[in-house]
Chain A
Amino acid sequence: MIQMFHVFKMFGKDLEALVDVDLHIHKGEMVFLAGPNGAGKSTLLRLIFCDELPTSGQILVNGRNIVRMKPRMVPHLRRTLGIVYQEFKLLRDRTIEENLALVARVVGMTALQTQHKVAQLLTLVGLSHKAQMLPYKLSSGEQQRVAMARALMNDPLILLADEPTGNLDAELAADVLRLLFEVNAQGTTVLVATHNLKFAEEAGCRTVFLKQGRIVGERQRVNQPVGPVQHSSPIRHAWHPADD
């Protein structure tokens, strides 16, 4: 589903954000990208949704080489992705329902389809009763659930979550994790970037460790929470926060 071959990303002449990254994520897999702040996790995600282009290397998303993709095709790629941010990125002056409907309009849903989809997703994240509220009146955990619902509005093939629990306490983080598993269980490939190693460990999913732009280790799934993922390989080298 996501394949990266010898990907380098430089900012300016000196700053190496990603160095020779090779990464293969299979369809239906749920993968954590763990590493300290500045390791290149967000850059890697931004390359996948074409917010940045790699300095060199090739990236295939759902079989399409996005490095050679024409700019006018980028919106079409993004419509197959869902993106969740640490800071939620919800529009403060729109209700929860309107925040979700924004995506529906972009992907061309009818009013009726939008209404059904919004209701379905708000039920999934347990916020049906708050559809008409403005985001800032919700708790951080609720806002993150809204952000996840918005990311799922277009039934994405891949869900990219950048530090989805960064602003949440342990209990709310567990809620978000449960939600991610549920999404993954429905067949969506999920890639989660986090600096919280414990969070990744608890998830028990395949975890790729990044440090200073390089993949420094990988730990395979320790249990099988969801999905038909069959990919396995030995741990190359585990990154630990103490290394940082």
Chain B
Amino acid sequence: MIEKLKYLLTHALINLVRAGWGGLASIASIAVSFVIIGIFILVIQHFNALIAEWQEQFQVSVFLDDQITPLQLDMLKGRIEKEAAVKTFTFTSKVEALANFRRELKGQESLLEGLGDNPLPASFQLKIREGYQSSEALKTLSSFLSRLEGVEDIQYGQEWVERMSRVARLIRLLGTIIGSVLTLGSAMIVSNTIRLAVYARAQEIEIMRLVGATKAYIRAPFLVEGMLQGSLGAALALGVLFAAYRFVAPTFNLVSSLFPTVAGQGFLESSMMAGLVGGGAAVGALGSSLAVSRFLKM
């Protein structure tokens, strides 16, 4: 078994070398297709990271009544703690709110003169768990909190949340459509390129068929060769993408201008890279197998 695998791999490599420019052309066309898919995945990955970061920063402000008693405040804290939608929360007293505001108005503190009593309310800032950030879930949370004693107002930027949800949905939908079209297109290009390479060896297939080789025996080396071409093409694409990502994009400030918050984001995840190389091997094997089938009538 190991001997057979060794033979198949050696034979596939020899054939790849024999194919010369034809073999290189196949690998190059696979690489080009996978560069396009890789760019697309990279963009989607960055968008997802961006959305995740926005979600991380997202918070609900619960403004409190000025007349709230310490007992009411404790009870309120207890209720918020028990709320499943709340990941973490912080409390800001009236004094802290004013101090924060003063910090924000740095250099223009004079605006606060004549305010008299501190008009800013005490508040809770709630970080919301990921699954509860839809506009519907936030509406439910908001109406629940607003009914609690000592709560004056709830703010979470309803419009912003709804817009964000729409954008995220749109990106996911577009991602699925464009991703599918790109994958299908690449698979067709790759299988056509491999088919041309296999056609060039039609005589070899015919001779093997006529000297009594079984279909599986004829197909196996082509299958391995297709897998090799596919995985080499995908690996080459990843190399090109990595080089572009690490060296070219920062030079032109591409990543940071497109995605300012995630400019430090890493390259494709290792599972995604393995998936791409595996995908390349699968597309190569499939394209090669389909092409050989045309010559294996009996």
Question: Which residues in A have their C-beta under 8 angstroms from that of B204?
Answer: 91, 102
Are the CB atoms of A102 and B208 closer together than 8 Å?
yes
- Tally of contact residues, B, Cβ under 8 A: 14
Binds B, one of A57-65, A75-83, A112-120: A75-83
Give the A-B pair count, Cβ closer than 8 A: 45
Are the CB atoms of A89 and B207 closer together than 8 Å?
yes
A234 lies within 8 A of chain B by Cβ: no
Are the CB atoms of B203 and A51 closer together than 8 Å?
no
A106 lies within 8 A of chain B by Cβ: yes
Q: Is the interface of B mostly helix, strand, loop or mixed?
A: helix
How far does the alpha carbon of A83 sit from the alpha carbon of B208 in the complex, in Å?
A: 12
Query: Digit string of B45-69 for contact with A (CB within 8 Å is 1, else 0)?
Result: 0000000000000000000000000
B10-29: which residues lie under 8 A (CB-CB) from chain A? 18
A40-88: which residues lie under 8 A (CB-CB) from chain B? 49-51, 71-72, 74-79, 81, 83
B213 lies within 8 A of chain A by Cβ: yes
Question: Which residues in A have their C-beta under 8 angstroms from that of B214?
Answer: 72, 75
Question: Which residues in B have their C-beta under 8 angstroms from that of A107?
Answer: 211-212
Are the CB atoms of B210 and A49 closer together than 8 Å?
yes
How far does the alpha carbon of A37 sit from the alpha carbon of B214 in the complex, in Å?
A: 32
Question: Which residues in B have their C-beta under 8 angstroms from that of A50?
Answer: 298
How far does the alpha carbon of A183 sit from the alpha carbon of B203 in the complex, in Å?
A: 26
How far does the alpha carbon of A93 sit from the alpha carbon of B203 in the complex, in Å?
A: 11
Are the CB atoms of B211 and A89 closer together than 8 Å?
no
How far does the alpha carbon of A184 sit from the alpha carbon of B277 in the complex, in Å?
A: 54
Are the CB atoms of B211 and A154 closer together than 8 Å?
yes
Are the CB atoms of A78 and B210 closer together than 8 Å?
yes
Are the CB atoms of B213 and A106 closer together than 8 Å?
yes
Are the CB atoms of A75 and B206 closer together than 8 Å?
no
- Closest beta carbon of chain B to A153's beta carbon, Å: 8
Pick from B18, B203, B217, B298: contact of A89, CB under 8 Å: B203
Closest to B204 in A: A91
Are the CB atoms of A51 and B212 closer together than 8 Å?
no
Interface residues of A (CB under 8 A from B): 49-51, 71-72, 74-79, 81, 83, 89, 91, 93, 102-103, 106-107, 150, 153-154
Closest 3 CB pairs between A and B?
A79-B212, A78-B212, A106-B213
A-B contact pairs, 6 of them (CB 8 A): A83-B211, A89-B206, A91-B203, A91-B204, A93-B18, A153-B211
